[in-house]
Amino acid sequence: MTSAEKNRINIKKLIGYLMPVILTFLFLYFAFLKVDLKKSFSLILNTSLFWLIIYVLVFFLSHFIRALRWKLMVKSVKQDVSLFNLFSAVMIGYGVNCVIPRLGEVYRGLFIGRWEGLSRTTMLGTVVIERIIDIGAFAFASLLSVYIFPGNLFDQVIWLKTSLMIGFAAIFVVSLLIVFMVKYEEKFGYVIVRIFSKFSKKLSEKFAELFSTLISGLSSIQDFKTIFIIILYTALILFFYALNSYVGFFMLDMQNYGTINFALAWVFMTISAYGVIIPTPGGTGSYHIISIFVLTQLYNFDYELSAAYALLTHFISYFVFIGSTVGVIYLVNKFRVKKGIKKENFFTVFDINSEPK
């Protein structure tokens, strides 16, 4: 590799590291451009402790259901996977995403693979399949939002229709790919890899690895009963996400400033989720700007109250996810010290040469 090629790679890496940070600051700037932050923080200081506790409990419950769904997906690989480990992996994954966007998905797959003695490729495969399910679920949730919103949501959120069209097109293509992958696993994989190899050997190798990962993930959810329960869990996850948004309104007594109902919470949940898709650390900035937009432009709440809601709910998620990450590592090491075993740290899940005892 020449020095020029190395420089190009280093520049690409630098841009990759800087882009999420730049996007975060840009989104934060435009999110709070019209906001009197002093007033917003004043509203946050008057947060209802009762509704804050309920909010955190619902928050944990929604992610616990996500762990239950994941347990079902890995059941065919290992029957007695620890629900505590799965839940810990879910929370830690989101905690990692709060610092480095998208790394959390990889991390939780490696975490559960390490701690349950399972194939890491298979676990990463289940994470990929889970994300595909989530994208499909939020696409349908967005359609429901269009139906229940008292007006034309496509006129209010001008990018929503295009996003849904792209989303459903992607779902259709992915669904076809999955059908072919399952039915004609060897032939399909071979043909696709050969096609990619004509353009780039490196690209074909990456696709072969991805193909293997997806097949491993799909192997756990092929019977109808499992698929039905996964759909049920997914619906429950969406319900509790919306319930979380609904409870959040009462933390700031928003019912005193406008009409609060579950339909509002559902629309808010689906539209604000697009902010989390943008690769900023934990959705910082992107979540704030879309949340404030939804509350001010769609439901006529003032900017300060809307900003207070965005800041408070985002801070709670950050605190819970980061706190869970630190807490799990502490508990794991406390248990290992009692057994006279070497302590674990954040990076040990990447060590393929050692396994926890």
Average pLDDT over residues 323-350: 78
Q: What is the pLDDT of residue 73?
A: 86
More confident: 6 or 303: 303
Is pLDDT above 90 for 217?
no
Residue 337 tokens, joined:
């010290």
Q: Which of 5-14, 66-75, 110-119 has the lowest mean pLDDT?
A: 5-14
Which domain, by its residues, includes 312? Answer: 31-350
CB-neighbour burial class of residue 145 (10 A; exposed 0-12, middle 13-18, buried 19+)? buried
CA distance 55 to 259: 19
Element at 177 (helix H, strand E)? helix 160-183
Q: Is residue 13 part of a domain?
A: no
| In a domain? residue 45 | yes
Domain membership of residue 357 (yes or no) is no
Per the domain annotation, does 245 fall within a domain?
Answer: yes
Quick check: is 306 in a domain?
Answer: yes
Number of domains comprising the chain:
1
pLDDT over threshold 60, residue 356: no
94-98, 160-164, 176-180, 247-251: least confidently modelled range: 176-180
pLDDT at res. 202 = 67
Q: Using one digit for the tens of pLDDT, what is the confidence trace for 191-215?
A: 666 766 666 666 666 666 666 666 6
> Has residue 351 got a pLDDT over 70?
no
Q: Residue 312: inside a domain, yes or no? A: yes
Structure tokens at 17: 């590291």
Q: Residue 174 — very low, low, confident or very high, per pLDDT cuts 50/70/90?
A: confident
111-121 residue pLDDT tens: 888 888 887 77
52-73 CB burial, b ≥16 within 10 A, e <16: bebbbebbbebbbbbbbbbbbb
Question: DSSP of 134-171, one letter per residue?
Answer: HHHHHHHHHHHHHHHSSS-HHHHSTTHHHHHHHHHHHH
> Looking at residue 349, what is its pLDDT?
72
Q: Determine the pLDDT at residue 317.
A: 95
Q: What is the pLDDT of residue 264?
A: 96
pLDDT digits (tens, 9 = 90+) for 267-286: 999 999 988 888 888 889 99
Q: Is the dihedral of CA 80, 84, 85, 86 positive or negative?
A: positive
Task: Indicate whether 138 belongs to any domain.
Answer: yes
Residue 127 has pLDDT above 90, yes or no: no
